Amino acid sequence: MRGLGEALGLPELALGGAPGAGRGAEAARRGAAAGPNAPPPPSPPPPLPGAAAPGRRLGALWGLGWRAGAAGGAVGAGGADYRRAVAALRSWEQTDIGWVRVQRGGEYLSEGAPVCIEARLLPGLWVLLPLAVSSVGRPRTGRLRQGPTRGGGRRWGFTHRTVGRHLLAGEESFAVAWDGSPSGAVEFEVSSVARPAHPLASLGAPFVRAFQWKFRRDVAHRMRRAVQEAR
C-alpha cells in the first residue's frame, strides 16, 4: 500500500485505528527529507474569505488557487495569561483536540524540525500529513503576523509548511499577542494559506475546506481551555 501511495503521490493512511507511536515520527522525517512540496505562498497572503473579489470566490471554493483562513479570539488577559498561552503553544497543547495528534520527528520547535499531523478522517481511517517548522518566534501567516511589538506589546508564534506527500501546499501558523497592558486581552490565532497539491484535494475541495474549518475551530477552543487550566 505504501508503494502504491508513493507512486500516486498520496499521503500515508492508517486503517483500523490510530497509527503506531513511531509511524508518525518516521513519516515526519521522510517528509522533511523530501522537502517542500511547492513554492511558498504569495506575500502578502490572499485575503480572508469575505474579503476576496467576487470573481475569485468560485475558484477558491473548488481549490483552484491560494486561499487563506483563520480562527481565534481572546484566550485570557494580562502578562500571566500571555505567558501561559506561549507555554501552551510551545508544547502543542492547542492541537490536543482528540481527532488530531502531533508526532515530532526531530528537534522540538526549531526551524526545519519535522512534524506529522495524524488526523482521523473517519472511524478507523487516519491520514498522516508531513510538515516542517518554517519559522519560530514570529508567525508568517494571519493577522497576528503583524501583532503588537511597540509600547511593551508582545507577540509569539510559529509556522509550519507542507512537505513531502501532503495533499495541500502552503503554510499554517499558531500565534498569540498581547498589547502589554495589565488587563489587555491575550489574542490567539490559527491561520493558514494553502492550495491543493494533489488532484484529489481539488476534487474534494468542499470536504477539505470543512476539514480545515473544523480543525481551526477546535484548536481555538482548545487554546482557550489550555490557558484556563494553567491558572
Where do the domains of the chain lie, and which CATH numbers do they carry?
Answer: 2-229 (3.30.530.20)
φ/ψ of 165, rounded to 5, equals -90, 60
**pLDDT score recorded for residue 128:** 94
**pLDDT score recorded for residue 104:** 84
| Cβ partners under 8 Å of residue 19, min gap 6 | 103, 118, 126, 128
Q: 161 vs 97, 165, 168, 176, CA distance in Å?
A: 20, 12, 10, 19
Q: Report the DSSP pairing between strands 168-178 and 154-162.
A: antiparallel
**pLDDT score recorded for residue 17:** 84
Mean pLDDT of successive 10-residue segments in the chain (231 residues)? 59 87 89 90 71 41 74 96 97 94 81 93 93 94 77 89 94 95 95 91 89 96 97 95
**pLDDT score recorded for residue 190:** 97
Among 60, 79, 78, residue whose Cα is nearest residue 69: 60
**pLDDT score recorded for residue 43:** 77
The answer to whether 117 and 146 are in contact (CB under 8 A) is: no
**pLDDT score recorded for residue 176:** 97
What predicted TM-score, i.e. pTM, was given to this entire model?
Answer: 0.89
**pLDDT score recorded for residue 109:** 86
Q: Which helix (H) or strand (E) holds 155?
A: strand 154-162
- As given in the structure block, the three cell numbers for residue 71 are 480562527
